[in-house]
Structure formats: C-alpha cells, structure tokens
Amino acid sequence: MTQLSDKTLFLKIKEGDEAAFNKAFESYYSRLCFFADNIIHDYDQSSSIVQQVFVDLWLKRARLDVVYSLKGFLFRSVRNQALDWLRHRKVESEYLQELSFKQEEAVFLDQLELAELNDKINTAIQELPERCREIFVLCRFEGLKYAEIASQLEISVKTVETQMSIALKKIRTKVSDSQYFNLLVFIFSKKN
C-alpha cells in the first residue's frame, strides 16, 4: 500500500467509510499485534492494545489528522499505547511490592508488640507474691479455669478470683491499655 493510497484510505475512514476502516484493519492488524508483542512480550495484551487503537481511530476519526501515512500513525499509536501499558505495569508492580513490604512490616510489628507484652507480663509476674504468681501462672500458662485452680490448690474460687484481681492490678501498671485489654480477653476466656 503506497503512502498516497494510505492517505486516501485514512481520508475515507475520516468520512466514516466502514469499508475503508475494515480494509485498514485487515491490512495492519496482524503486523501491529506482532509489533506490540515485541515491545511488551504479552501477545494477548498486544492484541487488546491494537484493538483499542483501531477503536480509537474509528471513534476519533473526525478529529484526527494524519499528515504522512495511516501506517505510520497506527504504528506510532500502538507503540505509545504499549509503552503506556509497560509504565502502568511498572507502577503496579512497585505498588504491589510496597504493599507486600508494608504487610510484612505489620506482621513484624505485631510480633514485636507481642514479644514486648510477654516481656512486660513476665517481669510483672516475677514481682507478684508467690501464691498470687502461682495462681496467675496456672490460669494464664496452664489454661486452667478458676474452679480447677481452686480444686488443685485446695482453696476457694473466691480466693482465686481475689488473687487474680491482685495480679491483674499489678500487671496493669506495667502494660499499655490495649495490651491490658488483650490480656484480660485472654484470661477471662479461660475463666469459665
């Protein structure tokens, strides 16, 4: 196809001639797909890019002005769309990497907070009176319910409750509000 007939073909497309558009599509579609694939290395996406270029050509035909050739216009449009797609993929990939890093960092911070909480609780436990510490350890670490602790130590459930209350008040002074709340949830889920 010569430049003159190429320009004539574009002028007919610009006037809304569907036959001219179909001829351009048949003439260039396959070559444009291979051209795009050489840029982005994804044939399915290349095909989509070329189809979009043809859709844009048809929809914007009245406003377009092809100075040299339809072929040059189509290849330049496909190249630009393919490069835009690559840029978008790069930004998307960077975003996903950043998101993955933030998730890993959040998991690390959660584990760090848990380690700090355990350290604070262990320090506070060591400072408890012996009987109070024994009851707290049976409840928190052994997972025993108040009734089971009372039975094992041969004391009343009320004594277990009182000693746990003393332990929690002393531990409360060593941890933050959110850490204390998490500790209470854990302990009272074991109570019954």
What does the pLDDT look like over 73-121, one tens digit per residue?
899 999 999 999 888 888 877 777 777 777 777 766 677 777 777 777 7
Give the Cα separation of 70 and 66 in Å (integer). 6
In this predicted structure, the answer to whether residue 44 has a pLDDT above a threshold of 50 is yes
Percent of the chain with pLDDT strictly greater than 90:
24
- Which residue intervals of the chain bear CATH 1.10.1740.10? 3-95
Fold of 3-95: Rna Polymerase Sigma Factor; Chain: A (1.10.1740)
More confident: 189 or 48:
48
Mean pLDDT for all residues in the chain: 82
- Which residue intervals of the chain bear CATH 1.10.10.10? 127-191
Give the Cα separation of 61 and 10 in Å (integer). 9
- pLDDT confidence tier of residue 4, bands split at 50, 70 and 90: very low
What average pLDDT does range 143-147 have in this prediction? 88
Report the 3 state secondary structure along the chain.
CCHHHHHHHHHHHHCCCHHHHHHHHHHHHHHHHHHHHHHHCCHHHHHHHHHHHHHHHHHCCCCCCCCCCHHHHHHHHHHHHHHHHHHHHHHHHHHHHHHHHHHHHHHHHHHHHHHHHHHHHHHHHHCCCHHHHHHHHHHHCCCCCHHHHHHHHCCCHHHHHHHHHHHHHHHHCCCCHHHHHHHHHHHHHHHC
| 127-191: in CATH 1.10.10.10 | yes
Residue with the two structure tokens 């459930």: 157
